[in-house]
Amino acid sequence: MDSDEFYRIKRLPPYVFEQVNRQKAALRAKGADIIDLGMGNPDLPTPEHINAKLIETVGKPRTNRYSASRGIPGLRRAQAAYYERRFGVKLDPETQVVATLGSKEGFANMAQAITAPGDVILAPNPTYPIHAFGFLIAGGTIRQVPAEPGSAFFEALHRAVNHSVPKPLAVVLNYPSNPTAYVADLDFYREVVSFARRHDLIVLSDLAYAEIYFTDTPPPSILQIPEAFEVAVEFTSLSKTYSMPGWRIGFAVGNERLIAALARVKSYLDYGAFTPIQVAAAAALNGPQDCVDEARRIYRRRRDVLVEAFGRAGWEIPPPPATMFAWAPLPEPFRSAGMGSLEFAKLLQEEAHVAVSPGVGFGEDGEGFVRIALVENEQRIRQAARNIRRFLEKHGRAAHKGAKSDQKEVNQAS
Ligand SMILES: Cc1ncc(COP(=O)(O)O)c(C=O)c1O
């Protein structure tokens, strides 16, 4: 039996990004120096005091044993203290906080916990894939809503509760957003919470980029709306905040019924992260926070270099107000030629040796865009811009040969 005949596997088409990754591996094997702005894999080192806490804890008595699936109490307390400090939100570490093996695991297992086959979930498009696929794996059905937190979003919510059968179970929010970098304010959250309470809708808010922002006002938490505790759970992560992506530590916090459901599912599946990792994660949250400011400054400088250098090379990049991503429309002449984002990403990688993520990999409404991750240093970003300038000059020259041959060149090149 072919693996794609299995019920769940059929719901998981091969990752679009795999195609770009395979091409990247092949080019690297041939010696190409690929500047990788594709995957959102933070490249900054984990701050030293967090590493030191891990090392200090490994080998202490009993730290090798099965840990606590919900997270050790000290880690849950540290997360509650973070919410109080950062958002002015009080959480009960016993009933309103669960530590997860990265926020992705928490999100996926929340989907398992609450979804019955056929349940309808409202998820943004384009979005980080687990927001839709977590529910598809659990047997749910996705109804798309716009990623932008504006009037079209609320119109889509209204249409969904009026017309979808069965009535939607939950809505997914993600601000600051991956891949679009949209940000939301408290008025938006207030309106979502009020809507959700009226229509008995669960709200799952992914706040993975809480600390990666370039605006004067930091991104808010939905739990700053007191009534949100009736309907909402929020996911955060240490991956970006403390440059700890491989450590796999995140959190779900908020509504007690939902947190209990997630904790129950997890109690059957895992024993929690390795205790020294949890101890070091608590040290990250409780310790000095200047490392977070420094990471934010680095991403901001990279963003500015990207916008400036790519702009001079002929590719206008809208500056993202938050996240570690720029969401960029395909440059000319590819945009006018209607080239797909996957084709474009492959061509760019092949010819300019710059890897980006095709927008269509985040959902059909991501077509026409690519996501550029700020995960290489400023010098490498400038090098990427130089490569792209040559690439655009070559294709721009092709574009000026006349509409017909221009189209041909673009198609052939892909
Ligand atoms: C919006 C969003 N949520 C969640 C995650 C996953 O983070 P974690 O490492 O905590 O699983 C990412 C990682 O890229 C993300 O972009």
**Amino acid code (one letter) for 22:** R
The answer to whether position 399 is within a domain reads no
| Separation of CA 280 and ligand 1 centre (Å) | 19
Q: Is 206 in the pocket of ligand 1 (CB under 6 A)?
A: yes
Tell me, what CATH number does 224's domain have?
A: 3.40.640.10
Assess whether pLDDT exceeds 70 at residue 190. Answer: yes
Q: Is 239 in the pocket of ligand 1 (CB under 6 A)?
A: yes
Give the rounded percent of residues in the chain with a pLDDT score beyond 90: 91
Query: Containing domain of residue 308, as a range?
Result: 3-44+291-394
- Whether 338 and 237 map to the same domain: the answer is no
What mean pLDDT do residues 359-381 have? Answer: 97
The answer to whether position 405 is within a domain reads no
Task: Determine which of 10-19, 101-110, 375-384 has the lowest per-residue pLDDT on average.
Answer: 10-19
The 10s digit of each residue's pLDDT in 18-65 is 899 999 999 999 999 999 999 999 999 999 999 999 999 999 999 999
Q: How many domains does the chain have?
A: 2
Residue where a domain terminates, one of 268, 286, 304: 286
Give the span between the Cα atoms of 407 and 315, in whole angstroms: 19
- Whether 236 and 316 map to the same domain: the answer is no
- Whether 56 and 30 map to the same domain: the answer is no
Mean pLDDT of the chain: 94
The answer to whether position 140 is within a domain reads yes
Give the rounded percent of residues in the chain with a pLDDT score beyond 70: 95
Tell me, what CATH number does 389's domain have?
A: 3.90.1150.10
- Whether 300 and 234 map to the same domain: the answer is no
Question: Residue 15 — very low, low, confident or very high, per pLDDT cuts 50/70/90?
Answer: confident
Question: Residue 404 — very low, low, confident or very high, per pLDDT cuts 50/70/90?
Answer: very low
Query: What is the per-residue pLDDT for 1?
Result: 66
Tell which residue, 322, 241, 247, has the closest CA to residue 285: 241
Supply the residue whose CA is at minimum distance from atom 15 of ligand 1.
208
The 10s digit of each residue's pLDDT in 315-348 is 999 999 999 999 999 999 999 999 999 999 999 9
What mean pLDDT do residues 72-93 have? Answer: 98
- Whether 134 and 235 map to the same domain: the answer is yes
Query: What is the per-residue pLDDT for 413?
Result: 33
Q: Is 182 in the pocket of ligand 1 (CB under 6 A)?
A: no
Query: What is the per-residue pLDDT for 8?
Result: 86
Question: Residue 399 — very low, low, confident or very high, per pLDDT cuts 50/70/90?
Answer: low
- Whether 72 and 206 map to the same domain: the answer is yes
Give the span between the Cα atoms of 9 and 341, in whole angstroms: 25
The answer to whether position 60 is within a domain reads yes
| Separation of CA 86 and ligand 1 centre (Å) | 20
The 10s digit of each residue's pLDDT in 295-315 is 999 999 999 999 999 999 999
- Whether 267 and 185 map to the same domain: the answer is yes
Q: Is 254 in the pocket of ligand 1 (CB under 6 A)?
A: no
| Separation of CA 332 and ligand 1 centre (Å) | 31
Supply the residue whose CA is at minimum distance from atom 6 of ligand 1.
104
- Whether 244 and 389 map to the same domain: the answer is no
| Separation of CA 324 and ligand 1 centre (Å) | 11
- Whether 282 and 327 map to the same domain: the answer is no
Query: What is the per-residue pLDDT for 5?
Result: 84
Tell which residue, 271, 260, 268, 198, has the closest CA to residue 233: 260
Residue with the two structure tokens 């970006």? 240
Q: Is 250 in the pocket of ligand 1 (CB under 6 A)?
A: yes
The answer to whether position 412 is within a domain reads no
Query: What is the per-residue pLDDT for 408?
Result: 38
Cα distances from 50 to residues 56, 95, 157, in angstroms, run: 10, 27, 42
Q: Which of 235, 239, 323 to mutate to test the pocket of ligand 1 (most atoms within 8 A of CB)?
A: 239
Atom of ligand 1 nearest to the CA of 323: 16
Atom of ligand 1 nearest to the CA of 101: 11
The answer to whether position 180 is within a domain reads yes
Query: What is the per-residue pLDDT for 342?
Result: 96
Query: What is the per-residue pLDDT for 402?
Result: 45
The answer to whether position 116 is within a domain reads yes
DSSP secondary structure string, 51-112? Answer: HHHHHHHTTSTTTTS---TT--HHHHHHHHHHHHHHH-----TTTSEEEESSHHHHHHHHHH
Residue where a domain terminates, one of 286, 313, 339: 286
- Whether 311 and 235 map to the same domain: the answer is no
What mean pLDDT do residues 122-133 have? Answer: 97
Which DSSP category does 200 fall into?
T
Assess whether pLDDT exceeds 60 at residue 411. Answer: no
Q: Is 38 in the pocket of ligand 1 (CB under 6 A)?
A: no
The 10s digit of each residue's pLDDT in 225-280 is 999 999 999 999 999 999 999 999 999 999 999 999 999 999 999 999 999 999 99
| Separation of CA 163 and ligand 1 centre (Å) | 31
Residue where a domain terminates, one of 259, 286, 313: 286
- Whether 178 and 274 map to the same domain: the answer is yes
The answer to whether position 400 is within a domain reads no
What mean pLDDT do residues 271-298 have? Answer: 98
- Whether 39 and 52 map to the same domain: the answer is no
Tell which residue, 326, 371, 319, has the closest CA to residue 20: 371
Query: What is the per-residue pLDDT for 406?
Result: 41
